C-alpha cells in the first residue's frame, strides 16, 4: 500500500512575536487543509513535532492539537532534535502504512525566540551527551559543527570560501521565497568578512534562530482514490539512522554516518542507484554551511572530499547537477527545529507539483529528496518523493 502527501502548508519563518505557538501552527495547518481539499474531520491522527526546548509550552502537543481543531484525534508528540519534523512525518506515514488510519497530519512547529540567544546557545549545546560534552567542556552547537568543518578542511582541503558559497547560494534562493526568514542576498565578500562564531565557521555560515511551522497531510492510496485527489506526491523511499550521543566515540568527523545509512536505506526502497541521475531536487540539512557540503558527499551526489568543489562548480545550484535547498535551506529560510523537516516536505512537494514559481526546477524524473539531521548527526532521516 502506497502512502502519499496530499496537502502541505508552511507559515512565514522568522522572529514571529505576533503569534503564539498554537497560532503559528494553525497558519501551516490551515494552508495544508485547504491545499489537500479535505476537511479537518477527514484527518484521523495528528502528530505534533516540536523540540519544545525554547518555548513557554513545555508540553505543546495538546494545546496545538486543540487550537488546530484536532482534539480527540491523537495527539502524538515526537522529538528528534533538529530532525523532529521528519520524525513527525515518519510517525504519520507509519500509522497509515500499518493500517491504523487512512489520513494523518504531521505538524512541525517551534517558537525558538521565546528565550534569549545565550539561553538558546546553552540549550543547543545539550543536544548530544550533556554530562560528557556540555557539562565538562561547555561545547556549543556551532562548536560541534566547527569540529566537523576543521576535520573536513584538514583532510580534503575544503576552504572557507567554498563554505561561504553555500551561504551565498541559499541566501539568493531565500530572497525569492516570501516565507523565508532572510529575504536578502549576500555577496561572497560579505560572507567571508563576517565574524567568526566558532572557527572556522563565521556568522554567515550559521543558520538563524527562527520561529515557524509547517504541516503535511498524508493519506493511504485507497483513501486518495476515494477522495479524488489528482495530484498526490508519493513517498517512495524512507530511511533513518542514528549515531553515538558522545561525539568522542565517533570514528570520523569528515561526514555523518547517520546520513549515509539513512540515504542508503531510502535509496534501496525507492530503487535509486544513481541519485544525481534519478533525482531532480533535494532539500538537505544545512544548519551550518559545512553540513550542506558533507551532505553532498554522504548522500552520494559527489565523491567523499569533493563537496567543496561541488558547490564551487555550481553542482547544487539551478542548472547544476541537482538543485539543493531551492527555498533557501535552514541557512536562510530559517531553522525552527520542529518545523524544519516538514518544511522540507513542503518544498519538495511544491517542486514536484511544479508550484514553486520563480524557484521552480526543471523536472525530468519527478523525484525529490529530503534530508534532515538531528543534533550533530545524532538522528538522520531521508525521504524520497515522486509523482
Q: Residue 331: pLDDT band by 50, 70, 90 thresholds?
A: very high
In angstroms, the Cα distances linking 1 to 169, 234, 322 are 39, 11, 29
Tell whether the model's pLDDT for residue 135 goes beyond 80: no
Say if residue 277 is exposed, middle or buried (CB neighbours under 10 Å; 0-12, 13-18, 19+).
exposed
Contact 26, 124 (CB under 8 A): no
Contact 294, 255 (CB under 8 A): yes
Round the average pLDDT of the chain to a whole number and report it.
94
Lowest mean pLDDT among 15-29, 110-124, 164-178: 110-124
Q: What is the mean pLDDT of residues 294-306?
A: 98
Tell whether the model's pLDDT for residue 56 goes beyond 90: no
Q: What is the mean pLDDT of residues 282-292?
A: 98
Q: What is the mean pLDDT of residues 46-61?
A: 83
CA–CA dist 163, 291 (Å, integer): 9
Catalytic residue among 144, 171, 181, 335: 335
Q: What is the mean pLDDT of residues 350-368?
A: 98
Confidence at residue 263, expressed as pLDDT on a 0 to 100 scale: 98
* Tens-digit pLDDT profile for residues 187-234: 999 999 999 999 999 999 999 999 999 999 999 999 999 999 999 999
Confidence at residue 365, expressed as pLDDT on a 0 to 100 scale: 98
Q: What is the mean pLDDT of residues 41-58?
A: 86
In angstroms, the Cα distances linking 347 to 54, 107, 261 are 25, 15, 23
Q: What is the mean pLDDT of residues 330-336?
A: 98
| Distance of alpha carbon 192 from the chain centroid | 25
Answer positive or negative: Cα dihedral of 88, 90, 91, 95. Answer: positive
Tell me whether residue 82 is one of the annotated catalytic residues: yes
Lowest mean pLDDT among 236-250, 263-277, 348-362: 236-250
Query: Could you tell me which residues come within 8 angstroms of residue 225 by beta carbon, excluding any fewer than 6 positions away?
Result: none
Catalytic residue among 82, 206, 287, 302: 82
Instruction: Single out the residue of 6, 2, 7, 1 nearest to residue 214, CA to CA.
Output: 7
Instruction: Single out the residue of 33, 126, 24 nearest to residue 67, CA to CA.
Output: 24
CA–CA dist 231, 380 (Å, integer): 28
Bridge partners (DSSP) of residue 374 are 379
Confidence at residue 384, expressed as pLDDT on a 0 to 100 scale: 99
Q: Residue 73: pLDDT band by 50, 70, 90 thresholds?
A: confident
Confidence at residue 51, expressed as pLDDT on a 0 to 100 scale: 86
Query: Could you tell me which residues come within 8 angstroms of residue 375 by beta carbon, excluding any fewer than 6 positions away?
Result: 81, 82, 83, 127, 128
Q: What is the mean pLDDT of residues 21-38?
A: 97
Confidence at residue 139, expressed as pLDDT on a 0 to 100 scale: 74
Question: How many other β-carbons are positioned within 10 Å of the β-carbon of residue 178?
Answer: 9
Q: Residue 58: pLDDT band by 50, 70, 90 thresholds?
A: confident
Domains of the chain, each with CATH number or no CATH = 3-115+209-227 (3.40.47.10)
Q: What are phi and psi of 344, to 5 degrees?
A: -65, -40
Amino acid at each position: 500500500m502506497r502512502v502519499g502527501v496530499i496537502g502541505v502548508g508552511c507559515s512565514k519563518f522568522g522572529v514571529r512575536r505576533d503569534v503564539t505557538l498554537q497560532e503559528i501552527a494553525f497558519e501551516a495547518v490551515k494552508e495544508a487543509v485547504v491545499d489537500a481539499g479535505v476537511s479537518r474531520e477527514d484527518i484521523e491522527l495528528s502528530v505534533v513535532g516540536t523540540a519544545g526546548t525554547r518555548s513557554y509550552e513545555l508540553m505543546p502537543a495538546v494545546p496545538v492539537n486543540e487550537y488546530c481543531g484536532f482534539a480527540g484525534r491523537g495527539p502524538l508528540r515526537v522529538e528528534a532534535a533538529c530532525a523532529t519534523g521528519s520524525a513527525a512525518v515518519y510517525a504519520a506515514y507509519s500509522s497509515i502504512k500499518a493500517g491504523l488510519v487512512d489520513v494523518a497530519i504531521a505538524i512541525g512547529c517551534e517558537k525558538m525566540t521565546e528565550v534569549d540567544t545565550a539561553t538558546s546557545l546553552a540549550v543547543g549545546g545539550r543536544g548530544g551527551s550533556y554530562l560528557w560534552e556540555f557539562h565538562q567542556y561547555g561545547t556549543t552547537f556551532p562548536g560541534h559543527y566547527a569540529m566537523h568543518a576543521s576535520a573536513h578542511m584538514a583532510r580534503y582541503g575544503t576552504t572557507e570560501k567554498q563554505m561561504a558559497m553555500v551561504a551565498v547560494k541559499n541566501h539568493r534562493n531565500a530572497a525569492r521565497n516570501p516565507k523565508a526568514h532572510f529575504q536578502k542576498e549576500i555577496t561572497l565578500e560579505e560572507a567571508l568578512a563576517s565574524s567568526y562564531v566558532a572557527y572556522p565557521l563565521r556568522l554567515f555560515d550559521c543558520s538563524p534562530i527562527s520561529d515557524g511551522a509547517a504541516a503535511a497531510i498524508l493519506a493511504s492510496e485507497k483513501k486518495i482514490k476515494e477522495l479524488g485527489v489528482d495530484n498526490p506526491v508519493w513517498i517512495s523511499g524512507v530511511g533513518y539512522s542514528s549515531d553515538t550521543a558522545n561525539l568522542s566515540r565517533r570514528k570520523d568527523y569528515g561526514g555523518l554516518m547517520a546520513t549515509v545509512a539513512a540515504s542508503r536505506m531510502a535509496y534501496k526502497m525507492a530503487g535509486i542507484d544513481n541519485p544525481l541521475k534519478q533525482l531532480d531536487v533535494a532539500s538537505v540539512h544545512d544548519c551550518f554551511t559545512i553540513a550542506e557540503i558533507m551532505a553532498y558527499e554522504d548522500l552520494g551526489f559527489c565523491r567523499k572530499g569533493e563537496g567543496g568543489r561541488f558547490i564551487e562548480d555550481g553542482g547544487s545550484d539551478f542548472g547544476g547537477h541537482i538543485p539543493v535547498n531551492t527555498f533557501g535551506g535552514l541557512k536562510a529560510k530559517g531553522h525552527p527545529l520542529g518545523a524544519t523537516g516538514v518544511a522540507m516536505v513542503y518544498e519538495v512537494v511544491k517542486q514536484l507539483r511544479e508550484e514553486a514559481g520563480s524557484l521552480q526546477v526543471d523536472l525530468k524524473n519527478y523525484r525529490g529528496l529530503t534530508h534532515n539531521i538531528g543534533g550533530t548527526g545524532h538522528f538522520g532521516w531521508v525521504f524520497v518523493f515522486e509523482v
